[in-house]
Structure 1
Amino acid sequence: MENQTVPESDIAIAESLRQRGLRVTAARHAILKWLSSHPHASADQVHQGVVEQLGTLSKQAVYDVLSASVEAELVRQIKPSGHPARFERRRGDNHHHLVCTHCGRVEDTDCKHGHAPCLTPNDAQGFVIHEAEILFWGVCSRCRANTETRPDKA
């Protein structure tokens, strides 16, 4: 099942920026709004999506807004090995990610155990653990279906 998202309201986005001490600019607003309905997007995907709305915006501006948004805890960045960093607005809960090894698709999955952190190390070595970041790797349903219907499959 794919994650269904509802875009945040313009007022909620502006308020979240102000609460974090950031000015409400057209670029920040557009990027956060776009991400609210396009989770797990790469910086290039964000740039392409926002340029369609604003008309013009440099890639560097997108990287700067994403970086500031991650630092301000408005956006979560995930870095699946071998794939570009992905960004999402879903924060503050205990969810993990499923990553397709064929197409790179990323989907949310809620933690089975509820409260963060859902895993603890054998020896925390004095650390107080706040979060466990988990990536599940596999083949998504679309890639499996494409493989099963290809006439040249082995």
Structure 2
Amino acid sequence: MKAAAGDPQSPFAGDPLTNWSQALRAAGLRVTRQRLAVIDAVIRKPHGTIEDIHDEVRSDLPRITIQSVYFVMNSLVTAGIVRKLELPGSPARYEVEGHDNHHHAICRFCGRIEDVACVTGTAPCLRPEAHVDMTIEVAEVIFTAVCHECATTQQARV
């Protein structure tokens, strides 16, 4: 799927149920309650772990297993509908794939994750000076940070 979130032709624009169904079909996937529930949970819990997503999905589908959530999530990641974040020192986390090449800032104290807009220019934002016969498509940058709440707490401890 190549359409961007801001593109009016994108399945990501407008009514979520209709367009997520369209996105699933465009990716060659069947539209199922489980897939729609997982996408909805990822929207409600951005940067959530599989366990977070499972907890959210269970509010709509109480009998869904964590293995089913893993299976659905893998199909959504492969289809380019959900993005898997593999951050240092953290279990895998997930967010809706906005095709915007944003980056992430992670608080080193509490682990809070925030999206950071593309660092410079257009995707892939960063281009290495030299690379071996490859076209760079995506640059992933992780900023280690201290959130304002932790900064205040840490200053109070000193």
The two structures have a TM-score, normalised by structure 1, of 0.87
Larger mean Cα displacement after TM superposition, 69-78 or 28-37: 28-37
Residue in structure 2 matched with residue 111 of structure 1 by the alignment: 118
Residue 73 of structure 1 pairs with residue 80 of structure 2: yes
Residue in structure 1 matched with residue 128 of structure 2 by the alignment: 121
Amino acid at match of 2:94: F
The two structures have a TM-score, normalised by structure 2, of 0.85
The number of equivalent residue pairs is: 145
1:15, distance to aligned residue in structure 2 (A): 1.3
- State the percentage of identical aligned residues: 36
2:53 to 34, 46, 59: 46
2:142 to 135, 143, 149: 135
The answer to whether the Cα contact below 8 Å between 1:77 and 1:85 also exists between their aligned partners in 2 is yes
Measured against aligned partners, the alpha-carbon deviations of 1:11-66 in whole angstroms (never above 9, x if no partner) come to: 11111111111111111110001212321111110001111221121111111111
Measured against aligned partners, the alpha-carbon deviations of 1:112-138 in whole angstroms (never above 9, x if no partner) come to: 313111112232111111111111011
Runs of 4+ in 1 over 2 A off after TM superposition: 145-149
Residue in structure 2 matched with residue 37 of structure 1 by the alignment: 44
The answer to whether the Cα contact below 8 Å between 1:95 and 1:108 also exists between their aligned partners in 2 is yes
1:91, distance to aligned residue in structure 2 (A): 2.3
Residue 85 of structure 1 pairs with residue 87 of structure 2: no
Give ranges in structure 1 of 5+ residues lacking alignment. 1-6
